[in-house]
Amino acid sequence: MADFRTGTELVTSSECADHYDPCPVNEAEENQPHLQGVTGLRNLGNTCYMNAILQCLCSISPLVEYFLSGKYINALQKDCSEVATAFAYVMTDMWLGDSDCVSPEIFRSALGNLYPVFMKKTQQDAQEFLIYVLNELHEALKKYHQRKAYEKRSIPRCCRKMIANESSIITRLFEGQLSYSIVCLKCENCTYKNEVFTIISLPIPSEYECSLQDCLQCFFQQDTLTWNNQIHCSFCETKQEAAVRATISKVPKTIVFHLKRFDILGTMKRKLRTDIHYPLTNLDLTPYICPIFRKHPKYNLCAVVNHFGDLDGGHYTAFSKNSVTQAWYSFDDTRVSEIPDTAVQTAAAYLLFYSCQPFSIPTQKCKT
């Protein structure tokens, strides 16, 4: 799976507003039945970014079911199985355990063995962390296929999908493809470039208020490449200015939008606190999809990562919709509470998870 990041931004590591967070004991709730998939996570020392991502992935039923059912075991690559196995343990604790709060220490240790930065007690960017997690799960669970360049030649070049030589539960759920049409402004020759994605990073066109559709329109609008960004035209045989436009030629079942709130220009850095209005249901991506692939239903929101604070310190939380209760919950490390639909819309949203299919309750492996 290609590690393609559209306009990825890096947030510098810094001390976070959170700290080590032991699981609280609430005597009033001790006798209440524990809800599947509604489990707090201990903060291990500035690990709110990890907890928020795990809570969002925990809400994606097809992914959870793949691990709870034991299907992942047959796909495991022996030389890189530690992260996937640890992820399965955490998902099992969060869905099948009887505790209101669990520790993700085993998962952090597995990922930290590969990327020591995640073992440090410093804040990390949740979007970057998600990319590492998805890549490592894919590497551990991928299967190889006979490689082909493209699908049917009867499909217009601008809409052809690359057929990958490897796939996994991650590519089946999260991987999409962007197709770029590149037109030389001198000779008008048109070429196409395809790139896969697991996250789309969206620019924010306003400092105060806008909608998710405004961000999408800004991302997919035609752009002109000039000066140092000129492309080499094979017809003109020299660098020329060009017009570039992107469309989605493969739509993932679960699409993740990264709202580019952190703006770093040289030594100047700031956080955009724009209030971005995003729909909870019926997100329409039709205008941005290659016409022959406009068959997907509209998308519904299933999880949100929120960021509070600024670049030099902050805190991550998550909202997710539970497939058992069909209710929304707020996850702030060990603190979990049910929230109304109206509370899901906040100006702190940083990552948005949308799905084009309704989630059913994950099933576990039958006990023998």
Active site residue 356: no
Our CA dihedral for 307, 310, 314, 316, rounded to 10 degrees, sits at 10
Residues whose CB is less than 8 angstroms from the CB of residue 247 and which lie 6 or more positions away in sequence, other chains included:
158, 159, 178, 179, 181, 220, 288, 289, 290
Out of 23, 277, 315, 366, the active site residue is 315
Report the distance separating Cα 181 and Cα 156, nearest Å.
12
212: phi then psi, degrees, rounded to nearest 5 = -60, -35
∠126-132-138 over CA atoms, to 5°? 135
Sequence-distant (6+) residues with CB within 8 A of 28 are none
CA distance 317 to 348: 9
The CA dihedral of 338, 255, 89, 127, to the nearest 10 degrees, is: -90
Q: Which one of the listed residues 48, 184, 233, 302 is annotated catalytic?
A: 48
CA distance to 88, 130, 138, 324, per residue, from 135 (Å): 15, 8, 5, 28
Is 48 an active-site residue? yes
CA distance 142 to 320: 27
What percent helix, strand, coil does the chain show, rounded to 5? Answer: 30, 30, 40
Burial of 215: CB neighbours in 10 Å, binned 0-12, 13-18, 19+ = buried
| Gap between the Cα atoms of 210 and 195, Å rounded | 28
Residues designated catalytic: 48, 315
